[in-house]
């Protein structure tokens, strides 16, 4: 085992905080501060500080498991891999290539996401691949692409936030999800800027705001339209910017003018004076930003909702300029990179589109296959899960736990149980892995080298710091072995740097161009922002050749060969559309897919708590985190609690059209009286996603996690 300290990054959220990992002489690992990484400057939340505990063999899988009747029993790697290859072959032979599905995760490194997408299309020949990032940010990605021609979560570094004039933070509780990032917002206020938080709950983030707007869940679209209406009515539009750098304003303007303030107040519950104050705060300074997260995105109209916030930025000239713009706060560790390199149903590496003939030709050439042999776009994540056991009969799943994290989770669990065959590769025996026919124990963050792309679009090298326990192998090894067993001997290397070299070639010329990024550069430069194309080589060496680290963070390698510096800030000269103009999109308010009625009179919204991460598969195994957040709860406003007769800690059942979840009541004035809140990290009877609505956004295919109709029963 290595004994020196290794600089690396946290395995959890998209902030990808820097940390040092040091193996201890008597075993175990210590996580220490790494002040040189500019995003967190040494700060870590409790999840990051305790992340190394999940490296312990006592908390994770260390041997493959195969199903024998009702039980999973240990097996050799050979037997486990043979069983998977045999089952996938048999299903494919009987039912066709699309009867085999693949489900990935936003926590997989870029190399794994790339290899998984290639494995699905080249080895299995299936179109049926998607990943859990579809549940995370796909509405923001769709809206960003529609408006700007390109989706990169943040088009500027987080370090720009303290220097802008105002930030509207929509549906994000950073105090719980990414605590170290709050520093940028406190510095913004110290510098005289203002923070507006839009959230139905008075969260710990909202408490720090200069203005908190608490709309009814599912009405953020109307709120953004109401603000734009006031911008127009008060003559605060930036006509020169609209004329010079955008298209489609008249239609968007007309749509916004149909949402007058009193109408928006009735829909959202946000008063007209609050709307006016928000417009004043947003428009007064020279620069401003809007940042969205899951609140506005996880809706059946998420793409239009984000589009309405982008319209507000464009109409006021707060986009494509220094210290101004729209950004999405991506959630999962590699949520950004995971959506760029081919594990999404409609994508090829480099953020290319699978239905684009030129993209297919380029990637097929890198892969050494016939472009016509590549399948077309497949189903989105929920649609794929919903099809399990029907025309999708076998599933290979990597790094995801949909039994806890998918909407309408009891139904998804039942679909997983109805499969002919389920193989899961994971670090721990998650609730989904418990249902599998074969479970493969794989290496995790500190045990393997790989790249991730943070919410800033900063590509990072997450270095191997410790040896994995015996019996554990990497996801890349799994794909290599399965490909060989399925007749593809070449093209699936196990060395991550070799995979990254191929990813660079596959991404070259695409929207997310990584061709100028090398492991050596990443090791030297604390990350490189994409797009980072590789300039033509002076010596004629082909794209993807490692030309060494740059001498000064850009400009030239140590040997003098030119390199691209990367792109921390996008759109300053032009947007990524064909004509360089950003696009307004005319959008109108519409109701949520499910509104309250006599039987289900309340709204449910879901979210996270600071001590747990996503489905909790890793963090629920850490004693310190469990002590801080031992289980689910139901937030009720005191007036609602009094009406129901519920006291603090009383077990209550939350019931929706999809099922029932039971958890103790937590009574707080921080939530609206018409809304209840549950965190979604736990399985079993307190599983919040038993209740959530899988109604999909028509563009992004993102489910409506953030609002559904429920009733509450005191037990």
Return the closest-CA partner of residue 688 out of 625, 622, 627, 612: 612
Query: Shortest distance, CB of residue 481 to ligand SF4, whole angstroms?
Result: 31
45: contact with ligand SF4 by CB under 6 A:
yes
Calculate ∠ Cα 487-490-496, nearest 5°.
125
DSSP bridge pairs for 451: 461
SS3 510: coil
31: contact with ligand SF4 by CB under 6 A:
no
Helix (H) or strand (E) holding 585: none
Q: How far is CA 682 from the centre of its chain?
A: 19
460: contact with ligand SF4 by CB under 6 A:
no
Contact residue for ligand SF4 among 21, 22, 48, 147 (CB under 6 A): 48
331: contact with ligand SF4 by CB under 6 A:
no
153: contact with ligand SF4 by CB under 6 A:
no
16: contact with ligand SF4 by CB under 6 A:
yes
12: contact with ligand SF4 by CB under 6 A:
yes
Q: How far apart are alpha carbons 282 and 679 in whole angstroms? A: 31
421: contact with ligand SF4 by CB under 6 A:
no
SS3 607: strand
* Interacting span for ligand SF4 (CB under 6 A) from 113-121, 175-183, 272-280, 376-384: 175-183
Return the closest-CA partner of residue 48 out of 8, 19, 5, 7: 19
Query: Shortest distance, CB of residue 334 to ligand SF4, whole angstroms?
Result: 11
Q: Return the residue matching tokens 């747990």.
A: 612
Q: How far apart are alpha carbons 645 and 271 in whole angstroms? A: 30
Q: What is the DSSP string of 125-177?
A: --S-EEEGGGGTTHHHHHHHHHHHS---S-SS-GGGGGGSSEEEEES--HHHH
Number of residues that bind ligand SF4 (CB under 6 A): 14
> Residue 637 has what DSSP assignment?
-
* Interacting span for ligand SF4 (CB under 6 A) from 39-47, 80-88, 524-532, 677-685: 39-47
Q: Are 100 and 124 in contact (CB under 8 A)?
A: yes
Q: How far apart are alpha carbons 313 and 155 in whole angstroms? A: 13
* Interacting span for ligand SF4 (CB under 6 A) from 37-45, 146-154, 344-352, 402-410: 37-45
* Interacting span for ligand SF4 (CB under 6 A) from 38-46, 305-313, 390-398, 705-713: 38-46
Query: Shortest distance, CB of residue 294 to ligand SF4, whole angstroms?
Result: 15
**Cα torsion 282, 310, 155, 458: sign:** positive
Q: Which residues contact 81 (CB under 8 A, 6 or more apart)?
A: 440, 478, 481, 482, 485
Query: Shortest distance, CB of residue 295 to ligand SF4, whole angstroms?
Result: 18
Query: Shortest distance, CB of residue 13 to ligand SF4, whole angstroms?
Result: 3
Query: Shortest distance, CB of residue 502 to ligand SF4, whole angstroms?
Result: 28
Q: Are 195 and 210 in contact (CB under 8 A)?
A: yes
Query: Shortest distance, CB of residue 615 to ligand SF4, whole angstroms?
Result: 14
H helix runs in 258-345, sequence order: 261-268, 272-283, 294-297, 302-315, 335-338
Query: Shortest distance, CB of residue 15 to ligand SF4, whole angstroms?
Result: 4
178: contact with ligand SF4 by CB under 6 A:
yes
Q: How far apart are alpha carbons 345 and 131 in whole angstroms? A: 8
Query: Shortest distance, CB of residue 670 to ligand SF4, whole angstroms?
Result: 22
13: contact with ligand SF4 by CB under 6 A:
yes
Q: Which of 45, 654 has the CB closer to ligand SF4? A: 45
Q: Which of 40, 707 has the CB closer to ligand SF4? A: 40
In the structure encoding, which two tokens stand for residue 624, read together? 């310190």
Q: Are 466 and 1 in contact (CB under 8 A)?
A: yes
- Give the residue at shortest CB distance from ligand SF4: 48
* Interacting span for ligand SF4 (CB under 6 A) from 11-19, 395-403, 468-476, 542-550: 11-19
**Secondary structure, 3-state, 642-692:** HHHCCCCCCEEEEEECCEEEEEEEEECCCECCCEEEEECCCCHHHCHHHCC
Contact residue for ligand SF4 among 21, 29, 31, 44 (CB under 6 A): 44
Calculate ∠ Cα 324-327-205, nearest 5°.
100
Q: Which of 11, 342 has the CB closer to ligand SF4? A: 11
* Interacting span for ligand SF4 (CB under 6 A) from 112-120, 147-155, 177-185, 208-216: 177-185
* Interacting span for ligand SF4 (CB under 6 A) from 43-51, 438-446, 526-534, 572-580: 43-51
Q: Which of 177, 268 has the CB closer to ligand SF4? A: 177
Return the closest-CA partner of residue 441 out of 110, 66, 148: 66
SS3 7: strand
Contact residue for ligand SF4 among 8, 10, 394, 711 (CB under 6 A): 10
User: For 270, phi and psi rounded to 5 degrees?
Assistant: -90, 125
Q: Which of 193, 331 has the CB closer to ligand SF4? A: 331
First to last CA, the chain: 53
Query: Shortest distance, CB of residue 62 to ligand SF4, whole angstroms?
Result: 24
* Interacting span for ligand SF4 (CB under 6 A) from 13-21, 57-65, 159-167, 445-453: 13-21
Q: Are 379 and 88 in contact (CB under 8 A)?
A: no
Query: Shortest distance, CB of residue 201 to ligand SF4, whole angstroms?
Result: 20
Query: Shortest distance, CB of residue 347 to ligand SF4, whole angstroms?
Result: 25
* Interacting span for ligand SF4 (CB under 6 A) from 29-37, 44-52, 318-326, 628-636: 44-52
* Interacting span for ligand SF4 (CB under 6 A) from 40-48, 246-254, 256-264, 411-419: 40-48
* Interacting span for ligand SF4 (CB under 6 A) from 173-181, 214-222, 499-507, 689-697: 173-181
Long-range pairs for 554-563 at CB < 8 Å and ≥24 separation? 561/537, 562/535, 562/538, 563/516, 563/521, 563/534, 563/535
Query: Shortest distance, CB of residue 613 to ligand SF4, whole angstroms?
Result: 6
* Interacting span for ligand SF4 (CB under 6 A) from 174-182, 455-463, 469-477, 478-486: 174-182
Q: How far apart are alpha carbons 642 and 529 in whole angstroms? A: 52
Query: Shortest distance, CB of residue 474 to ligand SF4, whole angstroms?
Result: 21
Contact residue for ligand SF4 among 180, 296, 331, 516 (CB under 6 A): 180
47: contact with ligand SF4 by CB under 6 A:
yes
Q: Which of 43, 712 has the CB closer to ligand SF4? A: 43
Q: Which of 66, 178 has the CB closer to ligand SF4? A: 178
Residues 363-402, mask of contacts with ligand SF4 (x by CB under 6 A): ----------------------------------------
Q: Which of 10, 388 has the CB closer to ligand SF4? A: 10
Q: Which of 45, 231 has the CB closer to ligand SF4? A: 45
Query: Shortest distance, CB of residue 241 to ligand SF4, whole angstroms?
Result: 34
Query: Shortest distance, CB of residue 628 to ligand SF4, whole angstroms?
Result: 13
Q: Return the residue matching tokens 């705001």.
A: 209
Q: Are 284 and 165 in contact (CB under 8 A)?
A: yes
Q: Are 267 and 145 in contact (CB under 8 A)?
A: no
Longest CA pairwise span in the chain (Å): 78
Sites of contact with ligand SF4 (CB under 6 A):
10, 12-13, 15-17, 40, 44-45, 47-48, 178-180
């Amino acid at each position: 085992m290595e004994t020196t300290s290794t600089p690396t990054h946290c395995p959890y959220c998209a902030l990808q905080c820097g940390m040092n990992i040091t193996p201890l002489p008597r075993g175990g690992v210590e996580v220490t501060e790494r002040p040189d990484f500019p995003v967190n400057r040494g700060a870590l939340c409790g999840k990051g500080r305790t992340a190394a505990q999940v490296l312990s063999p006592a908390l994770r899988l260390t041997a493959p498991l195969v199903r024998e009747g009702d039980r999973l029993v240990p097996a050799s790697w050979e037997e486990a891999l043979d069983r998977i290859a045999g089952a996938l072959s048999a299903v494919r032979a009987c039912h066709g290539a699309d009867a085999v599905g693949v489900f990935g995760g936003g926590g997989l490194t870029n190399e794994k996401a790339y290899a998984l997408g290639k494995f699905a299309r080249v080895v299995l020949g299936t179109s049926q691949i998607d990943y859990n990032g579809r549940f995370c940010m796909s509405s923001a990605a769709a809206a960003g692409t529609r408006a700007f021609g390109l989706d990169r979560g943040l088009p500027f570094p987080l370090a720009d936030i303290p220097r802008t004039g105002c930030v509207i933070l929509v549906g994000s509780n950073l105090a719980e999800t990414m605590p170290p990032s709050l520093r940028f917002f406190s510095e913004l206020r110290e510098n005289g800027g203002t923070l507006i938080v839009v959230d139905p709950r008075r969260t710990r983030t909202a408490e720090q705001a200069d203005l908190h707007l608490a709309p009814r869940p599912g009405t953020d679209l109307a709120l953004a339209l109401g603000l734009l209406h006031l911008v127009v009515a008060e003559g605060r539009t930036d006509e020169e910017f609209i004329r010079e750098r955008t298209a489609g304003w008249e239609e968007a303007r007309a749509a916004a003018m149909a949402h007058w303030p009193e109408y928006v107040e009735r829909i959202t519950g946000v008063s007209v004076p609050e709307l006016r104050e928000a417009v004043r705060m947003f428009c007064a300074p020279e620069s401003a930003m809007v940042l969205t997260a899951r609140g506005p995105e996880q809706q059946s109209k998420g793409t239009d909702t984000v589009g309405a916030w982008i319209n507000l930025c464009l109409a006021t000239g707060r986009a494509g300029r220094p210290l101004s713009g729209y950004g999405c706060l991506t959630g999962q560790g590699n949520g950004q990179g995971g959506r760029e390199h081919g594990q999404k149903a409609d994508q090829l590496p480099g953020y290319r589109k699978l239905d684009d003939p030129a993209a297919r030709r380029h990637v097929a050439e890198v892969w050494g296959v016939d472009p016509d042999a590549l399948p077309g776009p497949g189903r989105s994540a929920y649609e794929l899960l919903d099809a399990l056991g029907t025309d999708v009969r076998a599933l290979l799943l990597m790094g995801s736990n949909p039994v806890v994290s998918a909407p309408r989770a009891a139904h998804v669990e039942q679909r997983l149980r109805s499969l002919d065959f389920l193989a899961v590769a994971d670090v721990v025996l998650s609730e989904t892995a418990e249902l599998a026919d074969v479970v493969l124990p794989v290496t995790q963050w500190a045990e393997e080298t790989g790249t991730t792309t943070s919410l800033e679009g900063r590509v990072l090298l997450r270095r191997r710091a410790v040896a994995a326990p015996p019996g554990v192998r990497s996801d890349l090894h799994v794909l290599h072995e399965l490909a060989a067993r399925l007749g593809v001997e070449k093209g699936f290397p196990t060395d991550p740097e070799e995979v990254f070299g191929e990813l660079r070639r596959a991404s070259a010329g695409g929207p997310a161009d990584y061709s100028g990024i090398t492991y050596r550069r990443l090791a030297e430069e604390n990350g490189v922002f994409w797009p980072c194309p590789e300039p033509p080589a002076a010596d004629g060496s082909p794209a993807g050749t490692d030309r060494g680290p740059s001498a000064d963070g850009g400009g030239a390698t140590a040997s003098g060969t030119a390199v691209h510096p990367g792109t921390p800030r996008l759109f300053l000269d032009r947007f990524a559309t064909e004509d360089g103009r950003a696009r307004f999109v005319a959008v109108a308010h519409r109701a949520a897919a499910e509104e309250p009625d006599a039987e289900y009179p309340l709204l449910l919204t879901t979210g996270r708590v600071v001590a747990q991460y996503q489905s909790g598969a890793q963090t629920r195994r850490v004693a310190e985190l469990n002590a801080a957040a031992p289980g689910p709860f139901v937030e009720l406003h005191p007036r609602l609690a009094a009406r129901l007769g519920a006291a603090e800690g009383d077990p209550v059942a939350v019931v929706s059209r999809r099922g029932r979840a039971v958890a103790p009541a937590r009574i707080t004035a921080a939530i609206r009286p018409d809304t209840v809140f549950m965190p979604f990290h736990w399985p079993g009877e307190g599983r919040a996603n038993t209740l959530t609505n899988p109604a999909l956004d028509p563009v992004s295919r993102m489910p409506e996690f953030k609002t559904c109709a429920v009733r509450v029963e005191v037990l």
